[in-house]
A and B are shown apart, each in its own frame.
Chain A
Amino acid sequence: MTMTTDQAAEVPVRKSITVKASVERAFRVYAEEFDTWWPRSHHIGKAPMKKAIIEGRAGGRCYTEQTDGTDCDWGTVLVWDPPHRLVLAWQIDGKWQYEPDLAKSSEVDVRFTEQPDGSTRVDLEHRYLSRHGADESAVRTAIESPNGWSGVLQLFAERVAAVAS
């Protein structure tokens, strides 16, 4: 079977919410105070996460500081345009490892738009998911791994856990 690019593969994940805050504050909290809201369980370090940081410039690093003193990269700032737009490369591969190659990374594009009532509409688009290669190679990786639970399965950890319980 040859995997062709599935139509669904190129449909991004899109989410929109409205926040009762100015665009300036919304952007600041999202980007500069990223650590205050980012889910603590979501990092790829070996030790627990201490702090999540997005460097405020194009080309900046997205990384977490771990309690063991190590840093753990997981992305790069592609567009830094406060207070309206932030685009990050999501550089995590199917083995929960940092993926240095941007061509194999997805993108998270977030736009902040002021509403007439002073609130802010936040539109998030997570695109190019197929670049992560959740295809035959990911399945191969999952099968080949020593314990069978690494690879793409970790990416689906929540789902698998739900099925298994």
Chain B
Amino acid sequence: MDEGPLPVGELAREFPMSRPAISQHLRVLKRADLVTDRAEGARRVYAVNPDAIASLRKYFDGFWTRALAAFKKRAEEDD
């Protein structure tokens, strides 16, 4: 997939997994916004979502908000 969008059938040949298993994983990846898909004739073509890094940022954005809130609470407690 790093060489370009690929249909599921070709991915299934490339990985030691069944085609339904690949499809299942791709659905999860899609819901996590890591891949995008589009219809090309009768088949679905998947590609890496260039916004994957944006998802990583979003994760850390949320993580640091919670972590720093915990830090602030602790720092403001009595010594």
Whether B25 lies near A163 (C-beta < 8 A) is no
Residues of the A chain whose Cβ atoms lie less than 8 Å from the Cβ of B59: 155-156, 158-159
Q: Is A102 an interface residue (CB 8 A)?
A: no
Whether A29 lies near B74 (C-beta < 8 A) is yes
Whether B64 lies near A124 (C-beta < 8 A) is yes
- Of all A-B residue pairs in the complex, the 10 with the closest CB atoms, nearest first, are A136-B2, A37-B74, A9-B53, A148-B25, A29-B75, A37-B70, A37-B71, A134-B56, A21-B75, A13-B60
A-B contact pairs, 28 of them (CB 8 A): A1-B1, A1-B5, A1-B47, A1-B48, A3-B50, A6-B53, A15-B64, A25-B75, A29-B71, A29-B74, A37-B70, A37-B73, A38-B70, A42-B67, A126-B60, A129-B57, A130-B53, A134-B55, A135-B2, A139-B34, A139-B52, A143-B11, A143-B26, A152-B52, A153-B32, A156-B59, A159-B58, A163-B31
Interface of A toward B, CB cutoff 8 Å:
1-3, 6, 8-9, 11, 13, 15, 17, 19-21, 25-26, 29-30, 33, 36-39, 42, 122, 124, 126, 129-130, 132, 134-140, 142-144, 148-149, 152-153, 155-156, 158-160, 163-164
